[in-house]
Structure 1
């Protein structure tokens, strides 16, 4: 390996490749480092190939990278002859298609030539789940063609790129699941506050952020959470300390609850404190250690009216009335807000009872709030 690339340079580039998994635009620094190493004018990484139905997901270096991607997505992907390469093999455009066969093609004349691209080195990586990634490295007409040594240099990174792609797929799946569950908790109007091993706040969801901004029984000072009165805050810290102790000893945590009165006079906040189970191999600072769940009885259900309508086969008027009842209004308050008579409201309610199979208003509220409608 030392004859092809120095150990230091190889380490730097592979480091950039794996660090790219944590970047907002993945592998951006790696692609730029590879461009510099290969003396290229462009390095392009096709994460999702374009099609007639949708644009591709493409990263490209160079000053005109965005323009190149837009042009390729719109017109030239269908004309590109340098596709479907042998998986994980590194080949040049000259090896794939002789220059004599391509020099007068529309793809070369209309796309490559205006960008001053003449030499291309590429590899395709097929993943286990059927995805295809393509790496393309290009040089100008004035630059030297890619050599066997250039191919060997890129070949060194192909297994690492394959591995990084697999890790990226796993990260994306975990993040998708996390966002899905976090969104479900938001829809249920439950605030979540995550603390680290020192009891400091490291993450809050949207509901908790709204409650903290209201400063009505819940307050964040620096990274420390304060609730209700000073006595309430002391009690909360005792519960957090117990949860942290259970987490550090890897023993089951007793879930503790606390009710917090609010200065505004609104309904009390409900708080549940529990430890976060740890992976036996996990170690490090600022890891999720304790989670605090906060419920606000005054926060209305976010169940979309259209979903309630579809789930229970209600008319628009019935769905609207059902949602107002689920949010705590009485039948009189509901009829007033909907500008309908009480008799009309009662007729809607009787129809709702018939369609849902319940016989009391409290049962209807429970049915709606426990249904999947709140996750819509």
Structure 2
């Protein structure tokens, strides 16, 4: 066994190299997780940062063929029923603890814990292992991996090798914490969003808040339900916070995994006027950056892959002004379609548009179908992204 272990460790030099590149890599720990999935034949690998042992996911990187299952876990807020983290809290840190080897299936589960077990079985998992990596901005960082039933559960050798990685992961994460405020790509992107004509927020590759431009700060200052803090966008309502964090994670991860929405849309209501939030994954290449932006010389290799998420904010009553005299000829809309498209771009639903325009929902549905056909889009989020980047839109 010892000989096999040393032989296996020698194969992981590239994995270690990838790990120590993570603190300054545009995608953070994601390339390391991708290699980890391949080396250990995993269904997924998730470096997740939570508010507490059973708290919601605040941010995180993820990789593997079953990311959809992880997103579902976040969407259903299953962390509250995760018994694995309870076991970790009662045992020494710096180790990977697995369901199969250390914990075992439990009886007399609470309803929330049963939901986690049902989710685990439904997605065909046979084992999960988790390690506590450290703390970040008052939160707890974990690394979790799942094995699918097409593979056997993690054995002693694999768990030993995973534990050998833990000190390296802890050092790399500590370096990431030190470097994250001075990473050149983050500084560059912050400069870019500061010059955008739209109110915008910038989130990094793990879904953590980075920056907001002045237009976004001014717009958010008028809202009663949200508050922009130095380190995050804070919500008064836990449901809205959960929806927001889920949209960020889906935008970051599902776009690359499968043919998912180009962006996500979320609506915030307020007595002072509602906001529409448009979530867009970003992955810049040097040649796509307009001339005149203050980028450093080394940024010629800025980004070839997704590195974060920009969230555009639109005041549903004021911001997104569409010029109908341009909108109509650009897309060959009828007068009715032009009116409906303007309301769609402001984030209104079909029923809201029917009420505002004094038409039946069925008629509005037909108009929307025609609008999608003429603009080459399939969903409201895609349409908003198309319209708001067209000459017909005036910020």
Rg larger in structure: 1
Shorter-chain TM-score bucket reads 0.3 to 0.5
TM-score (norm 2): 0.42
Which structure is richer in relative contact order (CA contacts within 8 A, separation 6 or more)? 2
Please report the TM-score for the alignment, with normalisation by the length of structure 1.
0.43
